Amino acid sequence: MLDKSDSPRNDQADAARPDERRSIVLVGLMGAGKSAIGKRLAARLHLPFHDSDHEIEAAAGLSVADIFERHGEAHFRAGERRVIARLLSGGPIVLATGGGAFMDAATRALVAARGISVWLRAPVPVLLRRVAGRTHRPLLNAGDPAEILHRLSALRAPVYAGADIIIDSSEDPPEMTTDMTLAALERFAPPRTIRVDLPGEAYDVVIGRGILSGAGARLAAVLPQRRVIVVTDETVAAAHHATLAASLDDAGVAHETLVVPPGEGSKSLARFAALIEDILALKPERQTAIVALGGGVIGDLAGFAAAAALRGLPFAQIPTSLLAQVDSSVGGKTGINSRHGKNLIGAFHQPRLVIIDSETLATLPRREIAAGYAEIVKAGLIADAGLYEWCEANGAAMLAGDLALQETAIARAVAFKAGVVAADPHETAKADGRALLNLGHSFAHTFEAETGYGAALLHGEAVAIGLVCAFDLSARLGHCDGAIAGRVAAHLAAVGLPHRIAGWPAEALLAHMQRDKKMRDGKLSFVLARGIGAAFTSREVPERAVQETLISCGAG
């Protein structure tokens, strides 16, 4: 959102420029520091600064307190709305608004269309110290300031929580808060929303930077009750739970949290049973939602628990791994593993909302991000040759941490999967349909079973090898050019993903395939391809050809 093209070398922040179409609008309770921070932001950004209360007083020839006293709050809010509309109708500015301005739906719509909203969030004790002795605050003159501020905070925080950016304005010096705000503005990009258009079960996937801090407001808007049970794992909880919990508090959403051990081992019958008992011990009602905060394991486990508890609880996904963001969080497949195979126990249970904060990827090891990237490559290989070519051109930079490229890749992969899922929600199409998403998976699940579903081989790594196998098998059966498997393998190797079987016995791998849930009438369904972006399903695959592919790709 900000342009650094003419930044002085000694102070980039001072010369950052907002997008020409957008103003910066500060919202929050009285005493949050909107004027103090706003003036500093305006000076650093070389933009005009306006205070909506001062503009109203100048236009009316009366103080805000006098307007309240003579004409009432409704009259004041109508004038405030007109003033803010006028101020935002010109070029970009920094605007400090009155505490109640953002509560007006029409004003929020104006701000959303023309500005970037920034909530300066401050605890009530800090606000009290800042407004002590001030008599020009009409809402504070009607009683005990502490009681009034607590009441206003409870009323307004759920609405403020819908701001584009949330900045804590507490005891830090104003310059530090200004620096934090500038840094957040520099990172900001408008979230993207992709609709998964299922009959009676449609939902949005929202993709953006830093949006975990506003997750509570988004959840409150779509869930049937302001109470959730968060399911996460120990690793994710340490990195992201505090942010989610604060956003739920801001939005007035009651919440409890259940934490499970990290890793594929948590997708077990034993862990599922324990989780269901823990959920029921919290006495959820039928409208209490389960929120999955974590990677694919948490999404699958928590989603299946939501499907089973009380015969079905509302469910939302906040995926924190790239693999979960582009694959498992979208489409409603939930489940756990059996000793007989992966994901053999589960249910279709669509989420009400998926919130993807791209900044959560910064806490992941590169290996995990690369594993998720394999699913993006898979999407291109299935039905979007342009996406696959994009991966070849941009995959390395994306995995190196380019946030814009990551968001583009996530959005393209999610949009692709949303279209497939909408056309075949429960994978019932006799051919192709949602089953196409299993490209490489008949091989991948076999590799995971052979390695024990653990850290030795991540799911995305297994998929990467499986993609090469799928194109090798397709070429072996005469469906596509034999050079494609080598091309795919070369790209995967270039970004650091495995692309060959690590010597596992071919006979053992074939035995695992016989237990795959995609078996029908004794035949295993494979996804094959006529070329890049031209996948199709087939049950006419000789076992000998599969064995030859396994050996060709490295099996013993």
Q: Taking Cα atoms as reference points, which of 256, 367, 258 lies closest to residue 302?
A: 258
CA separation for the pair 248, 254 (Å, rounded)? 7
Residue 29 makes CB contacts below 8 A (sequence gap 6+) with: 99, 122, 127, 149, 152, 153, 156
Q: Where do we find the tokens 């791994």?
A: 321
Catalytic residue among 9, 10, 283, 311: 311
**375 is annotated as an active-site residue:** yes
Catalytic residue among 80, 375, 407, 450: 375
CA separation for the pair 469, 441 (Å, rounded)? 10
Catalytic residue among 459, 476, 491, 512: 459
Catalytic residue among 108, 114, 417, 491: 417
**445 is annotated as an active-site residue:** yes
**459 is annotated as an active-site residue:** yes
**434 is annotated as an active-site residue:** yes
- Dihedral sign for Cα atoms in the order 17, 19, 23, 24: negative
User: For the chain, what is the radius of gyration of the CA atoms?
Assistant: 27
Strand partners, 205: 194, 354
**438 is annotated as an active-site residue:** yes
**427 is annotated as an active-site residue:** yes
Long-range contacts of 235-242 (CB under 8 A, 24+ apart): 235/262, 236/262, 236/293, 236/294, 236/295, 236/298, 236/320, 237/293, 239/320, 239/360, 239/363, 240/212, 240/293, 240/320, 240/360, 240/363, 241/293
Range list of H helices, 288-327: 296-308, 322-323
Catalytic residue among 34, 50, 434, 518: 434
SS3 at position 405: helix
SS3 of 107-165: the string is HHHHHHHHEEEEEEECCHHHHHHHHCCCCCCHHHHHCCHHHHHHHHHHHHHHHHCCCCE
Catalytic residue among 445, 476, 491, 499: 445
Tokens (6 digits) for 547: 């064995």
- Asked whether 416 and 383 are in contact (CB, 8 A), the reply is yes
**333 is annotated as an active-site residue:** yes
SS3 of 526-548: the string is EEEECCCCCEEEECCCCHHHHHH
Tokens (6 digits) for 267: 């997708």
Strand partners, 117: 25
Catalytic residue among 412, 441, 476, 518: 441
Tokens (6 digits) for 367: 């290996």
Q: Where do we find the tokens 């819908």?
A: 162
Residues annotated as catalytic are 311, 333, 375, 417, 427, 434, 438, 441, 445, 459
